[in-house]
């Protein structure tokens, strides 16, 4: 199916779904990366890369990556803020910084990948 055959409504719904999936992967990755360090960090970054690359392949545009990355970044930033009582998800170690900066680097890498041409039927 070509890009012109996809209606704008379907495209916007897919961007919204990717935004929600990005938030879910960000929440899950934030919990897993600290729980099972260093394997959890690797698992969280692999899930993040799979989501961003999947967003690129599913939509065929960089906006798919940007919507997934936007949901991921909002979730990770909100979880890093903590609460007034002082407790939060992130403890401030090196693993948390690797997850944050590694996820942002993965988003940039997936957004700058060349789009593959689709085969004509």
pLDDT band for position 53 (50/70/90)? very high
pLDDT band for position 4 (50/70/90)? low
φ/ψ of 82, rounded to 5, equals 80, -175
Q: Look at residue 34 and tell me whether its pLDDT is greater than 60.
A: yes
Q: Look at residue 117 and tell me whether its pLDDT is greater than 70.
A: no
Distance CA 54, CA 48 (A): 10
Q: Note if the pTM is more than 0.85.
A: no
What number is the average pLDDT over the span 43-65?
Answer: 92
* Omega before 74 within 30 of 0, i.e. cis: no
Q: Look at residue 41 and tell me whether its pLDDT is greater than 80.
A: yes
Work out the number of other CB atoms within 10 angstroms of the CB of residue 111: 18
For residue 82, the 8-state DSSP code is: -
- How high does pLDDT run on average in the chain? 85
Q: What percent of the chain has pLDDT over 90?
A: 46
> What pLDDT, in 10s, does the model give residues 65-98?
999 999 999 999 888 887 677 666 666 678 888 9
pLDDT at 10: 86
């Amino acid at each position: 199916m070509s890009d012109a055959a996809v209606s704008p409504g379907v495209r916007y719904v897919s961007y919204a779904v990717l935004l929600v999936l990005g938030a879910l992967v960000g929440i899950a990755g934030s919990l897993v990366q600290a729980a099972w360090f260093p394997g959890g960090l690797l698992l969280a970054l692999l899930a993040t890369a799979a989501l961003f690359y999947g967003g690129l392949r599913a939509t065929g545009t960089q906006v798919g990556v940007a919507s997934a990355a936007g949901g991921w970044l909002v979730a990770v930033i909100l979880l890093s803020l903590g609460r007034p009582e002082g407790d939060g998800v992130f403890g401030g170690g090196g693993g948390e910084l690797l997850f944050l900066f590694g996820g942002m680097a993965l988003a940039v890498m997936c957004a700058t990948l060349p789009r593959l041409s689709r085969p004509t039927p």
